[in-house]
Amino acid sequence: MIAPTRLSFARLESAKQQMLRELEAEFGCLVVAYHHEAELAQLVPEAYAKLHKLENELGVALVAYEPTARFGLAQPSRAQLKRLQAMERELKLALVAYAEEQSAPMPAQMPAGVGSLQLATLLEEQLEKLHTVEQETGLVLMAYKP
């Protein structure tokens, strides 16, 4: 099982703040930036011993976090499976397909006044632009009705 991630409000430098203000003006809604925050790992004694040994070897303090994403065996569609099998025959290799597994993020604590807001309904091109900015910044952006 994948450890859940928590969404926390992102602290933005001025350029990213300006980018969000421009989106808000264009969309006519409030845009809030979040980032994924990994939970501390719950280590079994053997893993803790390995971590402690590594700390001693490196002379540093280490912190272990649960991964925010893991990979598991993919469940390809029939078309994908046929393509993989064709590639295996062509390359004379055995291929193993993995897919990223992610848990749903846990919501952030909303600051006063934001918790009562409702999600905004965006047009398709607005959604695409919002997703593009998410990819460029590595943030999770939510649009709320004013």
Question: pLDDT (tens digit, 9 = 90+) per residue, 15-34?
Answer: 888 988 999 999 888 888 88
Which of 86, 85, 49 lies closest to 64 in space, CA to CA? 49
The pLDDT tens digits for 38-92 are 677 788 888 888 888 888 887 888 777 766 666 677 888 898 889 888 888 888 8
Domain that holds residue 53: 6-65+105-144
Q: Is residue 113 part of a domain?
A: yes
Residue 10: φ, ψ to 5°: -85, 140
Burial readout 77-92 (b: 16 or more C-beta within 10 A, e: otherwise): eeeeeeeeeeeeeeee
**Residue 46 maps to a domain:** yes
Supply the pLDDT for residue 117.
74
In a domain, 112, yes or no: yes
Q: How far apart are CA 84 and CA 78, in angstroms?
A: 10
Residue 87 forms part of a structural domain:
no
88 in a structural domain: no
The Cα 35–Cα 138 span in angstroms is 7
Residue 82 lies in a domain: no
Decide if 86 is inside a domain: no
* pLDDT the model gives residue 115: 60
Query: Is residue 89 assigned to a domain?
Result: no
Number of domains forming the structure of the chain = 1
Locate 94 and state its tokens. Answer: 């055995």
